[in-house]
Amino acid sequence: MTRPRAHAVMDADAFALLFDEPRRARFASLADTADRMLITDLDDQSNAELLSDAEVLVTSWGAPQFTAERLGRMPRLRAVLHAAGSVQQLVSADLWARGIRLTTAAEVNAVPVAEFSLATILLSGKRTFTHLRSTPDTTWNAWHAQRIGNLDRTVGIIGFSRIGRRVVELLRPFDGIRVLVADPYADPDAVAAAGGELVPLVDLLPHADVLSIHAPSLPATRHMIAAGQLAALPDGATVINTARGALLDHDALLRECATGRIDAVLDVTDPEPLPADHPLRGLANVAITPHLAGSLGSETRRLTDSALDELVAYIAGAPARHPVTANDLKTSA
């Protein structure tokens, strides 16, 4: 087996998190790292000779865009294996023009996000987050409420993405929950096989006791959930966003939540983090978590394993396991 010249390109904190000793050893066994496994700055002249021979780069948080100038200093580069989710910040027209193999670990990063989303959906059914921020009397009298519980409830999933699909599948064991999915690109049979029902967004909203957002952040999806969509939700609904903050119009959300008509759980915001004095933070029916859903701590090792598995496939001359093309980025992150 030929060992290609390869380096990790990311910030030092990301490398320390993703590459524990066993994974560093695995990387070194697969590739020739020239005694410098980590490169934190592609523009540092001290790395020029190493990069001129690099055939594979394993990237993650902190990696820069692969511009024409940077690619010009890496004439032998054949593959960029991303040990994280979105690759939007890496790509350029020149990367595609060079035909460089690009892969993502988004599939495994979807696992903790889907798990977080499932937990949040079920807890929202009990209005848990609102109770945690409410007065004792409100909390202890919650059992009187009619619109509470997870039986005979409808969950609306926006975006049948890697994460959205997993959330639908995770909800399957809960017989009392109906799952509707809105995604203009999804296949109805695939949605049904996962346990959901594909419907237009306009038909989903009036039935969604919980609305969970899993669409990509693209120019076309900015504020896709705004005043009109929020107004269409039934009284007592909860909006959950674990995707990207820009998908949700925060001004419109504030107006709806301030009336007490709907609740929200935001793991992502726009901007991120939300300013400390933002009025959404003062509402008892809005819970804000600091981008916890994605891979954290030990979960990040899945990202490393995915990228190193891609390296094994590259060395063997096998197809990429999770390739990314320019066409893919038109509808995904």
Query: What does each of the 333 residues of the chain score in pLDDT, given as a tens digit?
Result: 579 999 999 999 999 999 999 999 999 999 999 999 999 999 999 999 999 999 999 999 999 999 999 999 999 999 999 999 889 899 999 999 999 999 999 999 999 999 999 999 999 999 888 888 766 655 555 555 556 889 999 999 999 999 999 999 999 999 999 999 999 999 999 999 999 999 999 999 999 999 999 999 889 999 999 999 999 999 999 999 999 999 999 999 999 999 999 999 999 999 999 999 999 999 999 999 999 999 999 999 999 999 999 999 999 999 999 999 998 887 776
The residue count of the chain comes to 333
Q: Which of 73, 133, 281, 291 is catalytic?
A: 291
pLDDT score recorded for residue 145 = 58
Q: Which structure tokens are listed for 297?
A: 């701590």
Q: Which of 178, 244, 301, 322 is catalytic?
A: 244
Separate counts of helices (H) and strands (E) for the chain: 14, 12
Beta bridge partners of 288: 266
Beta carbons of 326 and 45 less than 8 angstroms apart: no
pLDDT score recorded for residue 331 = 74
pLDDT score recorded for residue 130 = 85
Beta carbons of 72 and 95 less than 8 angstroms apart: no
Q: Which of 3, 69, 172, 272 is catalytic?
A: 272
Structural domain boundaries in the chain: 6-103+297-330, 110-288
Q: Which structure tokens are listed for 296?
A: 């954290």
Q: Please report how many Cα atoms fall inside a 13 Å half-sphere around the Cα of residue 302, on the Cβ side.
A: 16
Measured between alpha carbons, how far apart are the two ends of the chain, in Å? 33
pLDDT score recorded for residue 146 = 59
pLDDT score recorded for residue 132 = 82
CATH architecture of 110-288: 3-Layer(aba) Sandwich (3.40)
Is residue 272 among the annotated active site residues?
yes
Q: The whole model's pTM is what? A: 0.89
pLDDT score recorded for residue 201 = 98
Amino acid at 171: L
The vertex-293 CA angle with 24 and 133, nearest 5°, equals 140
Is residue 291 among the annotated active site residues?
yes
pLDDT score recorded for residue 329 = 82
> Which residue, chain included where needed, has tokens 């023009």?
97
Contacts (Cβ under 8 Å, ≥6 apart) of 82: 58, 59, 60, 63, 90, 102, 103, 104, 105, 307, 324
Please indicate whether the domains covering 6-103+297-330 and 110-288 agree at the CATH topology level: yes
Measure the CA–CA gap between 246 and 269, rounded to whole angstroms: 7
Fold of 6-103+297-330: Rossmann fold (3.40.50)
Is residue 26 among the annotated active site residues?
no
The CB density around residue 43, as the number of other CB atoms within 10 Å, is 12
The CB density around residue 169, as the number of other CB atoms within 10 Å, is 16
